[in-house]
């Protein structure tokens, strides 16, 4: 069985002592930033990227991945206990989780959230393992033409399925693509839009862009809002859920896992969509929907399972096709590139121990999370007592040091400052910065494949619709765009994303 061979290979990588340690570091950092509102996984991963340079590729990715799914766990802890969603993905958990806590059932709520997440994480690991092989095999047949169409599909789908206005997000993708063209043109060796600045000849680094737009701009915007934070002191007497709790939660857990796994694979699915969808479904299938919002355990189990499953399966397009499903995966691509690995379908065959090691590490990481979250929950909650007035200067400083650390250049720090101002402007005019990051990371690949495809076809753009796979991919893009114009779909999307 090839699947088992692969998983065993992965486990042997993930269980190496140093990889276990990096995995632990990743999930601990992830839980911490998940608990703390005001700093999300994107700036954290961007911050740590420069320091993964010296690690083996597998260790680097294992740690960064741990931050991502660890943040989902941490986010739900604060959602339940304090009614503050640490991450967007745990907004739904607040609804019923915090209600349960108010009724003195914080323990079972936390336990169910952790068990659901662990269960979903385990299933999602298997889903990744099963789906990866055929996808990678298919992708190996791709030429520049198909690859270009796939990138287009990835970008469009990410925009359409993410929240925010589609037109604005598309504009942001193009903005990102434009920034991606800065630097020396690979084909001709001519400097483009570098304005004579030597630091720009290698192109704009996406780490300062990500940290400026996601880290600093968020801080500036947060500081404008008055700080409201009340820590509910909850006695956690019994963490163990009753048999009735488990019986009620289990089907919801299963449904959540299925929804999360399916939506996570889609570009743009990422963290926000799965829990909302799972919550809506639980409400729909429940015999008595009025219980929701008043402490229904299904309302915790379903979304928690969905967000964890989704967080993990969003690695599938990255690992098999080299296409990031969301801004965070775009940073992962960056991590690969910093390691000198060109992301794409060939990674799976050329670096099997990397890919399978990362997949297997998700399971070990989830196990660690279960252990470090349930018994230590008090410790994490006490982190919330750190006031924001102290937290934010430290984050600002770490962003500065991290940006400087990529290539020891003060230029990058200035660049980050510029991006922070632009990012603040985007927040003010209500535009999501995530699509820009996707465009920036994918831009060079997109241009490269487009130019190669056009060279092959002698400048005839019809090649993209005459090759069957490429035509199919572009057809999906067209259908999605047309669907967005239909008012019915638009309304459903708004409801699903804005609930």
Partner 1 sequence: MTRRRFGWPDLLFGGFLIVVAAGTLVATRNLVGGTAADMGPGYMPRAIALMLLAFGVFFAVRGVLRGPVGIETVQLRPILGVGAAVGVFALLIESGGLALASFAAILIAAVASRESRFFEVILFGLGVTAAAVLLFVKALALPVSIWPW
- Cβ closer to partner 1: 340 or 459? 459
Binding site for partner 1 (CB under 8 A): 51, 54, 167-168, 170-171, 174-175, 177-178, 181, 185, 187-188, 190, 192-193, 195, 216, 219-221, 223-224, 227, 387-390, 392-394, 396-401, 404-405, 408, 410, 413-414, 416-417, 420-421, 424-426, 428-431, 447, 450-451, 454-455, 457-461
On whether the CB atoms of residues 107 and 237 are closer than 8 A, the answer is yes
**Cα distance between residue 284 and residue 287, in whole Å:** 8
Of residues 140 and 193, the one with the C-beta less far from partner 1:
193
Q: How far apart are CB 407 and partner 1 at their closest, in Å?
A: 11
CB of 271: closest distance to partner 1 in angstroms?
A: 25
Report the 3 state secondary structure along 126-146.
HHHHHHHHHHHHHHCCCCHHH
First and final C-alpha spacing in the chain? 44
Contact 29, 70 (CB under 8 A): yes
Measured CA to CA, the distance from residue 427 to residue 436 in angstroms comes to 13
Which among 416, 371, 449 has a CA at the least distance from the CA of 31?
371
CB of 227 to partner 1, least distance (A): 7
Q: Name the DSSP class of 197.
A: -
User: Please, are residues 13 and 353 in contact by the beta-carbon 8 Å criterion?
Assistant: yes
Nearer to partner 1, 253 or 463 (CB): 463
Distance of CA 474 to the CA centre of its chain: 25
- Smallest separation, CB 172 to partner 1 (Å): 9
Q: The tokens of 386 are what?
A: 């750190």
Instruction: Using the minimum distance from each CB to partner 1, give the nearer residue, 198 or 393.
Output: 393
Of 98, 33, 141, which is closest to residue 296 (Cα–Cα)?
98
CB of 440 vs partner 1, minimal distance in Å: 12
Chain CA centroid to CA 97, Å: 23
In this structure, the number of other CB atoms found within 10 A of the CB of residue 136 comes to 21
Nearer to partner 1, 236 or 484 (CB): 484
Cβ 54 to partner 1 shortest distance, Å: 8
Question: At 85, phi and psi to the nearest 5?
Answer: -75, 115
Distance CA 449, CA 445 (A): 6
Output 60 or 258, the one with its CB closest to partner 1: 60
Q: Strand 183-184 and strand 191-192: pairing?
A: antiparallel
Q: Decide whether 134 or 393 has the Cβ nearer to partner 1.
A: 393
Q: Considering the complex, what minimum distance in angstroms separates the CB of residue 170 from partner 1?
A: 7
Shorter beta-carbon distance to partner 1: residue 130 or 410: 410
For residue 144, the minimal CB distance to partner 1 (Å) is 13
Nearer to partner 1, 130 or 394 (CB): 394
- The structure tokens listed for 67 are 């931050």
Distance CA 62, CA 358 (A): 5
CB of 376 to partner 1, least distance (A): 22
Enumerate the H helices of 266-314 as residue ranges.
273-285, 298-313
């Amino acid at each position: 069985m090839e699947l088992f061979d692969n998983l065993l290979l992965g486990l042997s990588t993930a269980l190496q002592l140093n990889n276990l340690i990096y995995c632990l570091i990743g999930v601990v950092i992830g839980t911490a930033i998940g608990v703390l509102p005001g700093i999300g996984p994107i700036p954290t991963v961007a911050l740590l990227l420069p320091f993964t340079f010296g690690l083996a590729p597998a260790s680097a990715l294992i740690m960064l991945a741990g931050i991502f799914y660890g943040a989902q766990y941490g986010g739900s802890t604060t959602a339940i206990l304090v009614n503050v969603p640490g991450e967007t993905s745990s907004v739904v958990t607040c609804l019923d989780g915090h209600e349960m806590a108010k009724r003195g059932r914080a323990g079972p709520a936390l336990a169910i959230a952790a068990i659901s997440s662990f269960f979903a994480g385990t299933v999602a690991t298997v889903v990744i393992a099963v789906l990866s092989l055929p996808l990678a095999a298919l992708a190996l047949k791709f030429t520049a033409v198909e690859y270009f169409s796939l990138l287009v599909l990835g970008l469009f789908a990410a925009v359409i399925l993410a929240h925010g206005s589609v037109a604005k997000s598309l504009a942001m993708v193009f903005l990102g693509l434009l920034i991606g063209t800065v630097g020396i043109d690979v084909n001709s060796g001519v400097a483009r839009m570098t304005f004579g600045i030597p630091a720009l000849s290698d192109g704009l680094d996406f780490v300062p862009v990500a940290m400026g737009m996601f880290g600093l701009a968020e801080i500036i915007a947060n500081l404008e809002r008055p700080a409201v934070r009340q820590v509910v002191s909850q006695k956690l007497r019994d963490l163990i859920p009753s048999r009735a709790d488990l019986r009620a939660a289990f089907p919801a857990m299963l449904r959540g896992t299925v929804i999360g796994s399916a939506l996570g694979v889609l570009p743009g699915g990422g963290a926000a969509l799965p829990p909302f969808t799972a919550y809506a479904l639980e409400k729909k299938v429940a015999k008595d929907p009025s219980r929701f919002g008043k402490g229904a355990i299904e309302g915790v189990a379903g979304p928690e399972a969905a967000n964890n499953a989704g967080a993990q399966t969003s690695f599938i397009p990255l690992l098999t096709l080299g296409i990031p499903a969301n801004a965070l995966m775009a940073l992962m691509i960056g991590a690969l590139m910093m390691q000198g690995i060109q992301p794409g379908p060939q990674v799976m065959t050329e670096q099997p121990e990397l890919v399978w090691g990362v997949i297997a590490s998700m399971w070990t990481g989830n196990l660690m999370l279960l252990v470090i979250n349930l018994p230590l929950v008090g410790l994490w909650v006490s982190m919330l007592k750190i006031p924001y007035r102290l937290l934010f200067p430290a984050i600002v400083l770490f962003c500065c040091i991290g940006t400087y650390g990529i290539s020891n250049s003060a230029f990058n720090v200035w660049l980050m400052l510029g991006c922070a101002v632009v990012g603040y402007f985007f927040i003010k005019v209500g535009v999501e910065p995530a699509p820009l990051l996707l465009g920036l990371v994918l831009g060079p690949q997109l241009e490269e494949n487009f130019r190669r495809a056009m060279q092959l076809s002698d400048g005839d753009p019809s090649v993209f619709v005459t090759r069957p796979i490429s035509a199919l991919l572009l057809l999906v893009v067209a259908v999605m765009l047309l669907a967005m114009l239909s008012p019915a779909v638009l309304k459903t999307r708004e409801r699903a994303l804005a609930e």
